[in-house]
């Protein structure tokens, strides 16, 4: 027998011996055992104010309950004990312990109660004696050695003793001394680290690793319980049968917090289920209700959880403890709120709006950079390689994947949920996004949902766009962190940028710039507030690095960072924080005047890199796994500008947004087997009680009243009843508006016929206008939508089937048929509808490689403003998919102003809300041109503005665009025959560019009238036999 084999045999024998000894010691009858001698020193007790908090991130590092050295208590903070009362229970049987003691424990800011009988004290005392003896025996196992080493040697101390008198012989007059004895006993035990940290002690006083985490809020009842498997509301999550044979019972540690319950596995400490408190939350006990002896049933919208206690009284304690605690600390979650929302109205909430993604991306990047614990992201589409700050000046520092990797390395947990698309229908490649992010760092976890086959959800999408930092700052709106979204208020069409390339055939812009280049040191900075049209050609002359430089964007080849700044300084441009890459010739090259908000730029810079330069009506995205390769030709095709709106909220409202994300994450984790592993943890909502302790705040946010609203259902969030609070909020705000409604939306599909379309937003608008007409009052409705739906298709041949289907429903809502808004209005007011409502789109123009080009600006916003005091910003389009709740999942905020500023409305003095009015003025400035402080824009209701500014600008701009470019869609084209003739006619832009440029100078802003008569003689729904005709009509609505 070899030496190695011998040693192996010896080791295994030792291990067996050790295990046997452990078992013997654990089962010793400790009534006979009194080991006296040295005990353990108590920790130095300090003032509770100086105690060290357990960080929130501890929820991701839980350990098995019996593992030594697990931090449960606050360091340097005593546990105070008071026995409050004694209840005496009478029974027909002779009970040895008729008295129940209510014990109040205080540890730092946490106060909680436990109920124990004297027999429990006796059992606990015996267990401690057994543990004491066990610790002294040097069993050669690693865990036991660690346990022994963790106990510091100190002065000898007698273990406190329990009173010996039997409980039944104690008279009532002696209760107070008995209470005092038990109080002293427990106080002394909890002063000794050896006993305090023992898992049996923690069980006795009802504490765990998650008891004293400040951000989880006050401490509720905790303890071991048996739980039954199953009970989930969603089909497919329970066992195949519903009979008792299928149930499994497991021992779990149940923890009650102010807005949720959870249970943990004692052996690993893993959180294995979280049950959120909601409007359906209820607790029942009894055999009849729960089909279990001493059962306890806890219900919410997602699950009916059955627990088993060891006596009827034990079940009563649990029910009472949970019920009282939740009613005291979590009552906001127990009721349905305004509009049927899961979230309460939160006053005095800091909020901020964003028009276009430039500023939104910057604030998101800065908030992520400030994250300490968690970042939650959910998007319809996410592109890991997008740049969050542009033009790019610091290499890849502000690229989304680089930010997330950096934060993950710092210990921040990052959770991302992506919509799992039907790959045949959409090319957003969420699988690539998931793979890319997951490879960055183990702290980044990505889920995709739904699984179309197993969940039988083929038609609907997760459409929310959320970024939540530390559950304290939540960005909510319409902007995905994806290609094509970044834009600013100029909505540029071009991004070729090379002045050198155009040298062969000098364009107007090159000629203008050449003279500027010679005296480059004297060129003044362009003021930022110039109207967009004041630089007809120069504004589009962006430079771009060649593709060979693309991967390491922002790293100049011949200049060190220092010399770049020296170079900028030399030109009086040291405050420009954006240079993508400096061309080696740039000191004798040209300076372009770009109103980027960062001063002028030098050399070659691009705003849109690779796949970010896009025109999705011209061509949809392809090869997303090659992010830096262009897929359309920048030198011939203009990009499609992207107009969008978003918001950020703080504090309690941010907690509400985070709660929605957590609900969806935890549901997906249970739903999809691949996410059930411990590497995808359950998420826990932070308490509303700590919501206003903001560690980070987005600059320039203003206080307002905010409520979070959503569209959610069984398939998307695992809830029993669907929620359509966004739909209800839209209708309520429209019905209750007094002066005007301003809408920007990607779709406009409404006017219910209760057959194909069900949402009632269009009807509410028509009825509100008719009410104003009957009351003879001024009322205005502004609707801004994209001139064409965002589907790939060549509109010069009529567009694709998908594009036409959406056009059909948009026109059906606006102006075609008796159900439409204009149909309903004309029936009562005739042509006077024109005094009440205006439908517009956005368009712009540029010079590209010496040619004049035009393109529509894609309106992707989901915005409603009413009366300069109420705003809804979110991800929900005006269509059934977004509004009905049962279909796409959506998230929005309704913001009502509490701070007012003096203003004018309909010629009268008016108190306007700071948030709502400033947002409206910015939207008006962007679409109409001019400045934020334009006095003409102050009163959105008076005739002067509505007719002479809004309608006149839209009509003039549309006329000029038609004259110069013969744009589509157009009122001159009523059918496909006219369409062929229309596109073959000559364009002024081609025939006489100089005259065309003169005409274009008359354009103000981007606003154009919406062409109501485009293809009105054609049937636009998909014809039989096409693949689009095979999908249900709900896909388009």
Q: So which residues are the catalytic ones? A: 463, 465, 470, 860, 862, 867
Using alpha carbons only, what angle is made at residue 552 by residues 547 and 553, rounded to the nearest 5 degrees?
70
For 677, phi then psi, to 5°, come to -70, 160
Separation between Cα atoms, residue 298 and residue 288, nearest integer Å: 14
Dihedral (CA of 918, 921, 927, 929) sign: negative
H or E element: which one contains 144?
A: helix 142-149
- Among residues 497, 688, 473, the alpha carbon closest in space to that of 580 is found at 497
Separation between Cα atoms, residue 481 and residue 386, nearest integer Å: 7
> How remote is the C-alpha of 1030 from its chain's centroid?
34
What are all long-range contacts of 181-187, with beta carbons under 8 Å and residues at least 24 apart?
182/83, 182/101, 182/103, 182/118, 182/121, 183/81, 183/82, 183/83, 184/160, 185/121, 185/160, 185/161, 186/81, 186/103, 187/80, 187/81
For 95, phi then psi, to 5°, come to -105, 130
> Three-state DSSP class for 557?
coil
> Three-state DSSP class for 592?
strand
> How remote is the C-alpha of 454 from its chain's centroid?
25
Q: How far is CA 1036 from CA 216, 245, 938, 1030, in A?
A: 43, 46, 38, 12
Residue 785 token pair: 């939508």
Q: Name residues whose C-beta falls within 8 Å of residue 522's C-beta, 6 or more positions apart in sequence.
A: none
Across the chain, which distance is largest between two alpha carbons, in Å?
A: 112
Whether 207 contacts 52, CB under 8 Å:
no
- Among residues 929, 878, 882, 886, the alpha carbon closest in space to that of 764 is found at 878
Residue 583 token pair: 């061309």
Burial environment of residue 893 by CB neighbours within 10 A (0 to 12, 13 to 18, 19 or more)? buried
H or E element: which one contains 803?
A: helix 801-814
């Amino acid at each position: 027998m070899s030496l190695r084999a011998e040693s192996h045999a010896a080791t295994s024998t030792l291990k067996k011996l050790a295990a046997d000894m452990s078992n013997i010691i654990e089962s010793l009858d400790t009534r006979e055992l009194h080991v006296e001698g040295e005990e353990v020193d108590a920790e130095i007790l300090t003032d509770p104010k100086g105690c060290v908090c357990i960080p929130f991130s501890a929820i991701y590092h839980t350990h098995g309950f019996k593992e030594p050295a697990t931090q449960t208590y606050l360091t340097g903070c005593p546990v105070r004990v008071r026995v409050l009362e004694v209840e005496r229970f009478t029974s027909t049987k002779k009970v040895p312990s008729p008295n129940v003691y209510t014990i109040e424990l205080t540890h730092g800011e946490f106060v909680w109660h436990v109920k124990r009988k004297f027999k429990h004290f006796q059992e606990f005392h015996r267990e401690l004696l057994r543990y004491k003896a066990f610790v002294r025996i040097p069993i050669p196992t690693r865990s036991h050695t660690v346990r022994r080493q963790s106990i510091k040697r100190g002065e000898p101390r007698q273990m406190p003793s329990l009173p010996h008198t039997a409980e039944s012989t104690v008279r009532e007059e002696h209760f107070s001394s008995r209470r005092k004895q038990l109080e002293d006993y427990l106080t002394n035990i909890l002063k000794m680290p050896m006993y305090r940290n023992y898992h049996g002690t923690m069980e006795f006083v009802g504490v765990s690793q998650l008891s004293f985490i400040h951000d989880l809020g006050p401490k509720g009842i905790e303890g071991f319980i048996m739980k039954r498997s199953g009970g989930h509301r969603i089909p497919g999550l329970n066992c195949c049968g519903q009979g008792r044979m299928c149930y499994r019972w497991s021992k779990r540690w149940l923890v009650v917090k102010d807005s949720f319950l959870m249970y943990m596995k004692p052996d690993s400490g893993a959180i294995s289920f979280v049950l959120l408190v909601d409007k359906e939350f209820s607790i029942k006990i009894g055999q009849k209700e729960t089909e279990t002896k001493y059962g306890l049933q806890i219900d919410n919208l997602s699950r009916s959880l059955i627990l088993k206690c060891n006596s009827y009284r034990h079940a009563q304690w649990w029910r009472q403890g949970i019920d009282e605690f939740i009613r005291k600390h979590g009552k906001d979650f127990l009721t349905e709120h305004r509009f049927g929302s899961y979230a309460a109205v939160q006053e005095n909430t800091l909020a901020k709006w964003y028009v276009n993604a430039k500023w939104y991306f910057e604030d998101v990047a800065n908030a992520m950079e400030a994250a300490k614990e968690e970042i939650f992201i959910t998007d319809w589409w996410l592109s890991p390689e997008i740049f969050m700050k542009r033009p790019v000046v610091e290499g890849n520092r502000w690229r989304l994947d680089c930010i997330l990797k950096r934060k993950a390395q710092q210990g921040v947990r990052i959770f991302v949920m992506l919509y799992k698309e039907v790959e045949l229908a959409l090319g957003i490649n969420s699988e690539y996004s998931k793979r890319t992010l997951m490879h960055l760092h183990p702290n980044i976890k990505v889920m995709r949902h739904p699984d179309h086959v197993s969940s039988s959800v083929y038609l609907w999408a997760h459409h929310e766009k959320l970024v939540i930092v530390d559950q304290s700052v939540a960005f909510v709106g319409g902007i995905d962190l994806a290609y094509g979204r970044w834009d600013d208020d100029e909505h540029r069409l071009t991004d070729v940028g090379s002045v050198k390339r155009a040298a062969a055939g000098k364009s107007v812009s090159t000629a203008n710039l050449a003279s500027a280049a010679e005296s480059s040191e004297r060129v003044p900075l362009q003021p930022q507030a110039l109207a967009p049209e004041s630089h007809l050609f120069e504004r589009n002359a962006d430079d771009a690095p060649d593709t060979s430089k693309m991967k390491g964007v922002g790293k100049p080849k011949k200049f060190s960072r220092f010399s770049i700044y020296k170079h900028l300084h030399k030109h009086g441009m040291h405050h420009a924080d954006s240079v993508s890459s400096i061309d080696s010739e740039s000191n004798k090259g040209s300076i372009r005047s770009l109103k980027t908000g960062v001063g002028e730029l030098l050399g070659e810079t691009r705003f849109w890199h690779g796949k970010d330069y896009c025109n999705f009506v011209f061509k949809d995205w392809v090869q997303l796994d090659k992010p830096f390769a262009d897929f359309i030709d920048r030198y011939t095709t203009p990009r499609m500008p992207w107009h969008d709106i978003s918001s950020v909220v703080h504090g309690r409202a941010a907690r509400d947004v985070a709660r929605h994300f957590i609900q969806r994450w935890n549901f997906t984790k249970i739903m999809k087997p691949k996410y059930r592993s411990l590497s995808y943890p359950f998420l826990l909502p932070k308490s509303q009680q700590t919501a206003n302790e903001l560690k980070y705040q987005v600059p320039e946010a203003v206080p307002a009243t905010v409520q979070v609203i959503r569209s959610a259902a069984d398939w998307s969030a695992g809830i029993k009843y669907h929620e359509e609070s966004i739909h209800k909020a839209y209708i309520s705000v429209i019905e209750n508006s007094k002066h005007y409604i301003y809408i920007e939306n990607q779709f406009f599909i409404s006017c219910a016929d209760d057959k194909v379309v069900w949402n009632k937003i269009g009807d509410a608008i028509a009825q509100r206008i008719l009410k104003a007409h009957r009351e003879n009052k001024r009322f205005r409705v502004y609707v801004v939508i994209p001139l064409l739906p965002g589907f790939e298709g060549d509109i010069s041949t009529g567009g694709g089937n998908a594009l036409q289907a959406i056009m059909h429903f948009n026109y059906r809502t606006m102006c075609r048929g008796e159900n439409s808004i204009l149909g309903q209005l004309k029936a009562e007011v005739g042509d006077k509808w024109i005094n009440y409502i205006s439908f517009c789109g956005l368009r712009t123009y540029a010079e590209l490689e010496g040619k004049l080009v035009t393109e529509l600006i894609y309106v992707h916003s989901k915005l409603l403003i009413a009366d300069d005091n109420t705003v809804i910003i979110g991800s929900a389009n005006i269509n059934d998919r977004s509004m009905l709740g049962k279909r796409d999942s959506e998230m929005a905020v309704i913001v009502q102003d509490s701070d007012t500023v003096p203003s004018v409305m309909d010629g009268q003095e008016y108190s306007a809300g700071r948030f709502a009015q400033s947002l409206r003025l910015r939207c008006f400035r962007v679409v109409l041109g001019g400045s934020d402080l334009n006095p003409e824009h102050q009163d959105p209701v008076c005739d002067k503005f509505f007719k002479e500014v809004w309608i006149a600008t839209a009509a003039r701009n549309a006329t000029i665009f038609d004259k110069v470019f013969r744009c589509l869609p157009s009122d001159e084209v009523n059918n496909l025959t006219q369409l062929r003739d229309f596109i073959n006619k000559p364009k002024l832009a081609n025939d006489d560019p100089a005259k065309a440029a003169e005409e274009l100078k008359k354009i103000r802003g981007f606003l154009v009238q919406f062409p109501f008569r485009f293809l009105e003689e054609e049937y636009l729904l998909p014809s039989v036999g096409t693949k689009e005709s095979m999908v249900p009509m709900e896909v388009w609505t």
